[in-house]
Amino acid sequence: MFTALYSSKDVVATSLTGMAMMSIAVTVICFLSLSWSNEKWRVPSTLSGAACLVTALLYAGAAGFWLSSEAASAGARFSGWYTVHPLQVAAVYFYARTQGAVPSGVFWRITGAAVLMTFGRWLGDASFFNPTLGALISIGFWLYILGEMYFGAMAEAVRKSDRAVTLGYFWIRLLFTVGWAVYPILHFVDVVIGVGQSGGIIVLYSISDIVNLIIPSLIVVAVAGQDRY
């Protein structure tokens, strides 16, 4: 990937390679933050770093495949999402746990919902049943995760925290609300409408992962650092 020659006009290769390097950089930052953050923040920081590491591997492989054949498949993204999305919602759970008790059942429900959210879209993408139904199932589990984040025990635990923690939680929750909406939208365009993994779709997925993964991970690191210093 890093030794391949491509022009600036190849926006897809640039976005894939750029996201791979960006994810690697944030992975390093998340893991290094373990040395300067309070011990209670180490679990959410580690989970965020692990999600970025998986994303870096995904984008490195996708970039290499694109540079060799100028083709892409949604299958690789689904392989990554099965790991990344549960890690992200688990990081949010342990983020809230730093501020107070949150029932362990919440953890199992939201991580399970994150897996099923991806599974629903995958079933539609793989044509096991109607792609629209797959997208609707995915949206249902996504809305359930948001419900837990807005009205559940996690929101209650964070509500009485200091400004840095509450503001960080607010932005992470907002990014999951607005940013994750891109996934079913692009799924409809890609699978239901039938555009496929075109260059524009790939670039939009790359941009959405900056909003949905890179920024929330950095928010966790920033809040953890403020709690220490």
Any idea what the CATH number is for the domain that residue 93 is in?
1.20.1070.10
Going from the C-alpha of 146 to that of each of 11, 114, 139, 172, 176, the distances in angstroms are 33, 11, 10, 11, 8
Q: Confidence band (pLDDT; 50, 70, 90) for 5?
A: low
Q: What pTM, to 2 d.p., does this model score?
A: 0.90
pLDDT of residue 188: 77
Going from the C-alpha of 8 to that of each of 15, 110, 157, the distances in angstroms are 11, 41, 47
Q: Does 1 reside within a domain?
A: no
For the chain, the domain total comes to 1
Q: CA-CA distance, 146 to 164, in Å (whole number)?
A: 21
Over residues 91-95, the mean pLDDT reads 96
Q: Does 132 reside within a domain?
A: yes
137 neighbors 120 (Cβ within 8 angstroms): yes
Count CA atoms within 13 Å of residue 204 on its CB side: 17
**What is the tens place of the pLDDT at every residue in 53-67?**
999 998 888 887 777
Instruction: State yes or no: pLDDT of 51 exceeds 80.
Output: yes
Q: How many CB atoms lie within 10 A of CB 108?
A: 11
Higher pLDDT, 201 or 106: 106
pLDDT of residue 83: 93
176 neighbors 217 (Cβ within 8 angstroms): no
114 neighbors 97 (Cβ within 8 angstroms): no
Domain that holds residue 195: 11-222
